[in-house]
Amino acid sequence: EPVAVVNGETITVSQWIERMKMLRAQDFLVSTNPLRFKSQYGGQIALESLIANRLLYQYAARLSLLPSNADIEREVEARMKDPAIAAAVSKGQLSAEQLRETVRFGQTVYNIATVNQTVSPDEVKAFYEKNAAAFGTPETWRLSVIRVSGEAARAAVEAEIKKGTAFEAIAKRYSEDATTKERGGDLGVVTANDSRIPSALRDAIKTLKPGQVSDAIQAPAGPGGKPVLFFVKLVARTDAVTRPLEQVQEQARRGALIEKAGGLAVVDRKVEEFRKTSKIEIKLPGYTLPEE
């Protein structure tokens, strides 16, 4: 059964359901600063995503910019060498077809953005030097934490640390963080640039050596206005690694091309212009296009 028809091409119910299964939190966001959410339901967001993708592929096909099957398979093979992606596929968190579609979409966007664009070796080098941190792995930290609220709990934890009590034992006794308490405060491995880490914690962790525990770090007040405090132990640190330009030449060239073309926003503009001359029919009762 069709849910929509885009320039004569049908989007089916099964495709719509599969897209809804893949919705993530960011699909509902309009912006993060200020934080604003879309007003549509998940089904509408999924349908609009499918329509936008169909328009993208139709526009690319018109200009002979669709990637070939051989190009897609080469990129899929390259990505499967990434241990994280290979693990996600083997665990069923990411299907082979989803990976292939991700590659197809990315290559199509790239082809549209960079058509008729060229870059010189000097431009590639300049782009690499400006974005060197992106061509490697960031610094990582293995952390353990204790979260408490109130001055009495703070004093108790500080007294235990001063006595030399194992951090894990203190966490199991005093921490109010339900996620890490039973693991002795173990938070796992995080990247140093993880935006979820509050700046006060990040700044304190940077000063620690492996094995050291921070002083109490103030966080926003919790329920009842009690001060929330964190004690953080840096268990281990792995330094950031930047790969040399010779190893990432193609990635740097692609990035330089996209930047020179004006970024990926140029693709949105081109597809939006194509949309104005397209025929889009919604077959679901009560569903409309966003602009309607």
* pLDDT averaged over every residue in the chain: 90
Residue percentage of the chain with pLDDT more than 90: 66
pLDDT of residue 281: 94
* Phi, psi angle pair for 262, to nearest 5°: 110, 10
CA distance from start to end of the chain: 23
- What's the pLDDT at 229? 92
Instruction: For the chain, give the percent of residues with pLDDT over 70.
Output: 96
Angle at the Cα of 97 from the Cα atoms of 96 and 101, rounded to 5 degrees: 120
Q: How far is CA 96 from the centre of its chain?
A: 19
pLDDT confidence of residue 224 = 62
Handedness of CA 23, 24, 30, 35 (dihedral sign): positive
Residue 257: pLDDT above 80? Answer: yes
The predicted model gives 76-81 an average pLDDT of 90
pLDDT reported for residue 222: 56
Location of structure tokens 């640190």: 237
Q: Name the range with the highest mean pLDDT among 30-44, 77-91, 158-172, 193-207.
A: 158-172
Range 176-182 average pLDDT: 92
Closest to 6 in 3D by CA, of 55, 47, 73, 45:
55
Q: How many CA atoms within 13 Å lie on the side-chain side of 190?
A: 20
pLDDT category at 84 given cuts 50, 70, 90 is confident
What is the pTM assigned to this prediction? 0.67
